[in-house]
Structure 1
Amino acid sequence: MSTASVTLPAPAKLNRMLHIVGRREDGYHELQTIFQMIDLCDQLSFTPRRDGVITLTHQINGVAQDENLVVRAARLLQQVSGTTMGASITINKQLPMGGGLGGGSSNAATTLAGLNHLWKLDLNNTALTELGLTLGADVPVFIHGHSAWAEGVGEKLTSITLDTPWFVVIHPRVSVSTPAIFQDSELTRDSLPITMARALQGGAPEWRNDCEAIVKKRYPPIAEALDWLAQHAPSQLTGTGACLFAAFESQQAAQAVAKLASQHWRSWVARGLNTSPLQDALGC
């Protein structure tokens, strides 16, 4: 077993649309959404250990090590596979927490896929997806590694091919509580289900986010940023926020708007992807 470190990306995702079509008896919501990866990534480095210990080389503020999805993913993979190997893990964190970009879920997916490769466990993507779903509803799409039409709680995935514009992504420097948004009594939960074909036609009114009205009401800074970005291009929330985005045809146009946005908020320019850079890095 090599002791060499491996560094892998954990990309962000955008919800190009998010419809809530119902609520299940267990409290989870039935969704229809379109996931697209972007080239904005955290980076995770893994060094194998023979003593079975899983450790993070530094803590993330406000998250206990045992509660970190990366640690939980690594320990779950250990438990299921029966391996005696461990790992020292370093996270170069770029994606904001509570931002709706799927950072924690993507970190967990990269951990499952990366350690499966490093420990030579040879679990297939179906097995890794099943493990990922026990950690969070967004983990499977990062294991899936492709733009996807998703239903259920977000785990029923069909690969699709999307346009790949340049996005301006803005974080208004607030953190959104996803459970609070989904528990809000005013949240719309009765959007009519649509077909994937209809959804892929794109544009209003289908490409909307049913969480947006509640998030704007609860978080005025997000409403302000959405209204500002809408002056430059149609703007939209991703997930339950706090991040929002708009698509542009050219990198130059996106950079010009991002530069203006940076006077008030954190902002990035990112390219839309159809294949995850994690899959590319692992040669999948």
Structure 2
Amino acid sequence: MTIKDCIKKYSKQLREVTHIPNKEVEILILHILQKNVIWLHLNYNKEFLEENILEKLIKKRATNYPMEYITKKASFYGELFEVAENVLIPRPETELLVENAIEILKDKSNTNVLEIGTGSGIISIMLAKLVENIKIVAVDINDDALALAKRNAKKHQVEHKIEFIKSDLYENIKNNKFDMTISNPPYIADDYKLPLNVEFEPRNALFGGEIGDEILKKIIDDTYKSKIPYLLCEMGYDQRKPLISYFQNFEIEKYEFYKDYSGFDRGFSIKFKKGDK
């Protein structure tokens, strides 16, 4: 059977789990053969000899198992990152968080940044690549995430700029002389029903408590107590109003919210006033 015939045959099995079934079959074929898209376009009529492997991967994907976990890679900010089970899959919306951080840091020198919940390391790694003279401490409570983040940092040649530490939020952070805290924390309410594909991802990277914003609020508290000037976080689309109310507990110079690619509230930045209340 040719590659073209395989795409036609197996795309039918993915119609219930993706709006791009043909494309996903192509991705799996390229993953199996370790080839690129240009090669595929030139070889659609070539005999495909790995149908048994493809069939197994198609069956797995048809259960809503994430494509990123099958191929063990994901694109973020135009770069390719390694992905692993038990670690949150990078989302395109998080690129906006990185962009907002760069906007604040671009004119500063010798900056020190703390990332809470680094996951696969994408935020810290992109900041390390795009901001000169930056030092980053990236923490996570997940050993698998820390190991993956270290591999990604090495792959992108920024491991000398990032120190990875196992820590529950600020718990094991000794140096509080940071210019910014940045985080994509768990912010989903515990009783929220996840989409089927997201069910495969680690729950402790998704659920933020009974209401959902408990960890977010703890990060705000700890950042303020540590006298760190800037805080940037992702958040849930429905958390803007309660967060604005919570901000009243702190001396804040200014705060801003930003929307994601679908127009939903997705994150915020805070600049705290110097000193405590």
- Band of TM-score, shorter chain: under 0.3
Is the radius of gyration larger for structure 1 or structure 2? Answer: 2
TM-score (norm 2): 0.25
Higher relative contact order (CA 8 A, sep 6+): 1
> Which is strand-richer, 1 or 2?
1
